Chains A and B, each alone.
Chain A
Amino acid sequence: MTAAIELAGVNKQFGTLQALADVDLTVQQGEFFGLLGPNGAGKTTLISILAGLARADSGVAKILGHNVRTQYRLARRLLGVVPQELVFDPFFTVREALRIQSGYFGLRQNDDWIEEVMHNLDLTPKADSNMRALSGGMKRRVLVAQALVHKPPVIVLDEPTAGVDVELRRGLWAFIKRLNADGHTVVLTTHYLEEAETLCGRIAMLKEGRVIALDSAANLVRTLHSLQLKVRIEGVFPEQLRIEGVASLGDFHVIPLRDYDELEPTLSVLRTCGCRIVELDLQQPDLEDVFIHLMSRDH
């Protein structure tokens, strides 16, 4: 099957800044894919190259097999992008903006779908409001709607939930999940890591223009073999547990564990040394821990 998105050896430089360095990335059709990384990692640059808003210095980018440079019209037809910047055309109402966007894609009898998209994004009450009069979150919804007017098989959302309230966030994800279930490929960037962890099948982590990790959220978390055993004890903390990484504050101690197998021996040391456990908490790392770990490491 043709990949939904294929990037091979993509480089992009802005002046002396290497925004993307030799990026290879393949997203299969039907995936819900997360693109994570700190500010300036190159996420938006990568999306811009896919959308033809920026040009790679070298390398190839394809949407469903169509080169975004040489077959740009086909590639753009198959792609819907929600830009990160909150942009809008102040001349038009919500419905006008959506009809115009649909028309740009050659779809001039598309009102049924436009109404459905507006309904799903809770925009119907604002359909005839001027874009200027919308709140920031509402403008964001219109951006999402504009990206979907032509029912693109590949949907890329660049921080669609920035500045969006809880209710819409739920509504938006329900809608996007439904589109994904219907076969649309979804690529998402976000700084809300729990969002990515629950939604995305696979995640790529970008740092300084490089893909430094690429796997399912669960596998990424698994690579970070540090469970954290937090205990509050009565008694003297045993010296033999003062291994690297242990943090103590008064009678409160945090002991890093490689895996669950280390739990039992650790507890047994505490017991044989006569410590009484007052409080115990075993914390599993989440995507945020993985993120911080990867981003703080030198590559």
Chain B
Amino acid sequence: MMTGFPTLFYKEVLRFWKVALQTVAAPVLTSLLYVLIFANLLDRRLEVYPGVPYAMFLIPGLAMMSALQNAFANSSSSLIQSKMTGNVVFVLLAPLSHLEFLGAYVLAAILRGVIVGAGVLLVAVPFWAPTVREPVWLIAFCVVGTGTFGAFGLIAALVVDKIDQMAAFQNFVIMPLTFLSGVFFSIHSLSEFWQKASHLNPVFYMIDGFRYGFFGVSDVAPQISISITLACFATIFAIAFVLVARGHKLRA
């Protein structure tokens, strides 16, 4: 039987692509500013791993952070807007399974995350010469990480009632999680307490693993990082699935 999944996915992609200036170009520019400020200031003084200068260290982390943030932003803003304007009814009336509904939003979020991440890497080319040592790990961390945040964004949009609650969610949960994940520094440079604290943040493993894809070196073994990332994805996805299946705040 023909399904509505490809159309919902296509619609979700079209939604951000039609306003790509705001959904893709803007976050890429923000990351470029970080690169300009931090990498230029600190490059000469820091070598994070042997033979890995600070700019090289910073750029993949920034790309991954932007990818995660934008994956979250995509599904969360799309669904909350549809809920607020009421046009989510068009999807709710359609014969989509819960998995199709969830999958379309999450895949679109992954795509936006990947596009933004790639954009960050691209504009940063003048500042570093990227070498990809472990492409499979790179792709795995990128896809599973953005998938996790895409599903997380869907959960956020399902549980909150208003746009300003969503803004709070973004500022108090997503920003700290992604900024305090070792994007700007190797956690080995931190005190023991903060090293331990960083290990509790799942985003740390996503960023660290993504970086491994480039350098073949990381703070934590990639096998451990991918396990944690996958476990995170499975948990978040399962919660999102239950909420969608229940029609939580979607169906009265």
Task: Spell out A's residues near B (CB within 8 Å).
Answer: 14, 48, 51-55, 72-74, 76-77, 79, 81, 83, 85, 87-92, 100-108, 146
Contact, CB under 8 Å: A14 / B252: yes
Q: How far is the CA of A104 from the CA of B1 in the complex (A)?
A: 12
Chain B residues with Cβ below 8 Å from A83 are 86, 89
Q: How far is the CA of A210 from the CA of B181 in the complex (A)?
A: 58
Interface residue from A14, A51, A107 paired with B93 (Cβ < 8 Å): A51
Q: How far is the CA of A76 from the CA of B95 in the complex (A)?
A: 5
Contact, CB under 8 Å: B85 / A103: no
Top-7 shortest CB links A-B: A103-B7, A106-B2, A104-B94, A104-B4, A87-B86, A54-B252, A73-B95
Contact, CB under 8 Å: B251 / A52: yes
Contact, CB under 8 Å: B247 / A90: no
| A88-B87 CB under 8 A given contacts A48-B252, A73-B95, A104-B94 | yes
Contact, CB under 8 Å: A81 / B7: no
| A108-B252 CB under 8 A given contacts A51-B93, A73-B95, A103-B7 | no
Q: Pick from B4, B85, B91 the residue with the most CB of A within 10 Å.
A: B4
Chain B residues with Cβ below 8 Å from A101 are 90, 94
Chain A residues with Cβ below 8 Å from B1 are 106
| A103-B251 CB under 8 A given contacts A77-B95, A87-B85, A89-B87 | no
Chain B residues with Cβ below 8 Å from A104 are 4, 7-8, 90-91, 93-96
Chain A min CB distance to B99 (Å): 12
Chain B residues with Cβ below 8 Å from A48 are 252
Chain B residues with Cβ below 8 Å from A92 are 14
Chain A residues with Cβ below 8 Å from B97 are 73
B128 within 8 A of A: no
B15 within 8 A of A: yes
Contact, CB under 8 Å: A89 / B90: yes
Interface residue from A14, A100, A108 paired with B11 (Cβ < 8 Å): A100
Contact, CB under 8 Å: A87 / B89: yes
Contact, CB under 8 Å: B87 / A76: no
**Size category, B interface:** 20 to 34
B10 within 8 A of A: yes
Listed by A's residue number, 20 A-B pairs whose Cβ atoms lie within 8 Å are A14-B252, A51-B93, A53-B93, A72-B95, A73-B95, A73-B96, A77-B95, A88-B85, A89-B82, A89-B85, A91-B18, A103-B4, A103-B6, A103-B8, A104-B94, A104-B96, A105-B95, A106-B2, A108-B6, A108-B7
Q: What is the chain B residue whose CB lies nearest that of A109? A: B2
Q: Per-residue 0/1 for B136-161: is the Cβ within 8 Å of any A Cβ (1 yes, 0 no)?
A: 00000000000000000000000000
Chain B residues with Cβ below 8 Å from A53 are 89, 92-93, 251-252
Chain B min CB distance to A45 (Å): 8
Q: What is the chain A residue whose CB lies nearest that of B78? A: A91
Q: What is the chain A residue whose CB lies nearest that of B252? A: A54
Chain B min CB distance to A213 (Å): 26
Contact, CB under 8 Å: B86 / A107: no
Q: Pick from A14, A101, A106 the residue with the most CB of B within 10 Å.
A: A106
B3 within 8 A of A: yes
Q: How far is the CA of A55 from the CA of B94 in the complex (A)?
A: 16
Contact, CB under 8 Å: A105 / B252: no
Q: How far is the CA of A72 from the CA of B95 in the complex (A)?
A: 7
Contact, CB under 8 Å: B15 / A105: no
Q: How far is the CA of A87 from the CA of B91 in the complex (A)?
A: 12
Contact, CB under 8 Å: A85 / B2: no
Interface residue from B4, B14, B18 paired with A106 (Cβ < 8 Å): B4
Contact, CB under 8 Å: B90 / A146: yes
Chain B min CB distance to A72 (Å): 7
Contact, CB under 8 Å: B94 / A76: yes
Chain A residues with Cβ below 8 Å from B95 are 72-74, 76-77, 104-106
Q: How far is the CA of A123 from the CA of B170 in the complex (A)?
A: 40
Given contacts A14-B252, A103-B7, 19 further A-B contacts (CB under 8 A): A52-B92, A76-B94, A79-B93, A85-B89, A88-B87, A89-B90, A91-B18, A100-B7, A100-B11, A104-B8, A104-B90, A104-B93, A104-B95, A105-B4, A105-B94, A106-B4, A107-B2, A108-B2, A108-B6
Chain A residues with Cβ below 8 Å from B18 are 91
Chain A residues with Cβ below 8 Å from B3 are 106
